[in-house]
Structure 1
Amino acid sequence: MSQQRLQLTWYNKDKALIPTETGKYGYTWVDPADPRYCETHTLVYDEYVEGKQTQKSEEFEYSERADLEPQDDNLLILGESGDVLEALTRVPELAEKYVGKVKLIYIDPPFNTAQTFANYEDNLEHSVWLTMMRDRLLHLKKLLSEDGSIWVHLDDVEVHRMRLLMDEVFGAGNFVAEIYWQNTYSPKNNGSGVSIDSDVILIYRKSSSFEVNRLPRTSSMNSAYQNPDDDPAGSWANDNPHARHAAGKYQHPGVYGIQHPITGKMLYPSTSANWCYAQSTVLEIMQGWGDYVYGDNTPEEMAKRREIEPPGVQLRDDVHPLVLRNFNSSSVKRAQEIQDGGPWPVFWLTRDGKGAIRRKTYLSNVAGRIPQSIWPYSEVGHTDEAKKENQSLFPDETPFSTPKPERLLERIIHIGSNPGDIVLDCFAGSGTTAAVAQKMGRRWVTCELVEDTFNRFTKPRLEKVVSDSDPGGITRTKGQRVDATDEGLPEGLSADDAQKLTSLLNKAISESPDLKKSADIRAVKQMVKTRRSKDVVNWRGGGGFQVAHLSPACFDYDPQLGRVMLTAAATGQVLIESVAANLGFSLLHPDDDYVFDGRRGNSLLKVVEGVATVEIVHWLASQVRPGETIVLAATSVMDGVRQHLRKAVKGSRVVAVPDDVFPYSAGGER
């Protein structure tokens, strides 16, 4: 019996959806072969919006991101997400550019919460919602690069169903994580009696090639790194020189003694532990303290190893201790000079050179933070922060009910992509994803269904981004608290901690005039003195984006007549581009005086709005080169033309529009 995979099933899963009304969330079930579902729309390009990068000013500091080249190969589309994705995956010119090329997809789809928001409807039935999302996910999977990832933002209504759906589309083995974003800073009075304070973001990868970019380290994390010996390699932290090992038949090769360069005592790893580096590396490190060599395996040496290794482990004679060639007052003096003057070797000595061996871990060698699955609002913002960002951009407009803060998208885009990569969002809304992608040096594609939202929010916001008229969000970072002392802050105390200490100290002595005048209190404040640095600019404007909208439908189906028909829009260049897209032909530029309208390999397309005649066939046959074939698409075909074309140019064919483009005559609406 064949093994069966667990699948999510729902009403009308085998059917497709078409919009009931243009520009709104509302759908009608149809047969998957219905041309109203199958038709590939093309893009109609409108204006190109461009901005200039603002020059630097002494008023601010500037991050590395502020020097990235602003991206200008971006695309903003007005249109239904399903039709847009169909265009991106099937129109040859677009498919070549985007299929398998998108590094990161973030979508914040309608949550299906049975509510109607100000800027879009969100009341889709579960089965409709699942079909809508299934069809879009299949397109999105095609667009993802092999090392890409998709992030789906949800609330608690559909997340369990979406998880199964994404398992089905992307494979359960490509699940990466379920992120919980704390979207509010105060409890909400929900009807359930439990305050729902988080949204969920599901992450799936295209394949095992996906890699996570780590997050920057925080100042508090870095505060543990100091440089008391002026090491030219930079700040370092106190780390363990030992590593644990499991018991084997023979003694671990990292178990041996090291002679202390100042006291002369032999130092050993702890029980069931070993020195963390290969002995050759340890020898090289210790030679920074003096003339170390391999010593003899004395009875005392072997006895110490026996204490470290478990009973029954056979000790090794080929592993020797590390000792000073001549331990005497001269060697001690040399080591003491290194201890007093620095810099110290990677294996350094505690208690002013008289204590145990410890290891330096350099900050420059430490990777960033591993992303965690719980994202507090303190790190990535909350809904109210997002509303304020929108209000600052559109003070006279009503903000979205569930906007996303730029800091949230900043983290997602940082983890899942790099500068120059393509980021896609097919539910644009206020345009946060595209805005943040532009500010982070990524290319982007986004679309919005509702024309009012597109014109009032999405497009104006992105115009502000490229023109550097959007100072909010991640454009600037407030100046950080930094050390303002002469001698440096006390070891282990960050600038933020020092500021908190000063604030608490001021509160504690607020009722005591004598303490306020105390020289000791003033001395403490001087020891922890900080200041706020300049604001940091991360984005200076620049780049641009192409504005486009979907072409009108050229094909329709009348269930009563049982026929596919052309719409009133199916004429002229619109018809040519539609036929080319639906037959998979790349358009030939009309300005180049081509006789033909499109090309697919060695096949040339000619679209005739009218009757295909023998005379047209003769003319077209005279224009092709050896090895080329013709596809003649016409809205009417004279008898005998098909046979004549096949004889004139072998391998050629005639396509009757619309019948041969969509040979659909059964099914329709159900």
Structure 2
Amino acid sequence: MYAKNKNTSYFNKIIERDLTKIRIDNIGKYFDGDSSPILASSTQGYSVGGDYDFEYNGKIYKPVDSKGNRRRWLWTIERMKAAAKLGILVETKTTLRVKNYIDKEFQVGTNVMVNKNENLIATSFDLMNSNFTNDKGTGEIEKIGISNFTFPKPQNLIEFCIKLATDKNSIILDSFAGSGTTAHAVLELNKKDGGNRKFILVEMEDYAENITAERVKRVIKGYGKEPENSATGGDFSFYELGDRLLEENGNLNEKVSIEKIREYIYFSETKEKCEQNDSDFLGECNGVAYYFIYKKDDITTLDFEYLAKLKKASSYVIYADVCVLSDETMMKYNITFKKIPRDIKKV
């Protein structure tokens, strides 16, 4: 996950966690078994200063991986000794790790334990929840009536993440939407707290329509007999992205259907769905009527003859190849002329 702003005041400070799994020792609070590696991975590079053998509880630990390759420790020997003295090292069969605390931090530089706000940091063990497992995700989409998708993420897990990092008016983007769990989580949260969160999902090919979009539709309308599966309400639009609208030379791409061009122009102008008919009229939004005069092999012209075809509206936005109307006429009829293809927004 990525945040545009890492300022912690933006994030929700209270993490909902299972307090029954928390343990306490002479240092602080921790989840049983929660630890982090001290041995550097192969991608973290090598340094002589981190290459040393270390004795702990009568056993020598070497910075080697499971294949016997020499690596390095992430810490200097001074930091390792300080951790050993504090008693926060965790022994495994082959190496050393460090215990993670919820309310304490082994501070870099000073090598002492300092207090931290336990509600600000989500640990990996916060996510080790029976409601966050893949089988839960599989069960959810089967109840919805979708069975041909492997390893779907559970809705509760994504809801947990969204609650940590958003407010009621946030927009959540999922670039690899899969079965549509993110949309499901957003819709459920909105139903629970009256929020106005929005989602943008991106998925490819048949998955997009047959799985992702289909799940969103069923969640909005409701599915099954259980009360928790009642309709969330809300709405969404489905759009297909294909060939580039404009070629590199700026001309309209002839591979793109006229219907797609019409739909794109009107949506980019108004964020509304286009009128699906064969006329030049695209639709009307907020009193403005939109027209797209286009023929593949002919020059299209906005002239006096065309004015007679316009439906009555407070103003007009008209796309054409050429406009021969005077400025006075344009002002009289509140017409904005947009030249094809120059004034079609590039994608």
TM-score (norm 2): 0.49
* Bigger CA radius of gyration: 1
TM-score for both structures, normalised by structure 1: 0.28
| Bigger proportion of residues as strand | 1
Question: Which structure carries more relative contact order (alpha carbon 8 Å, separation 6+)?
Answer: 1
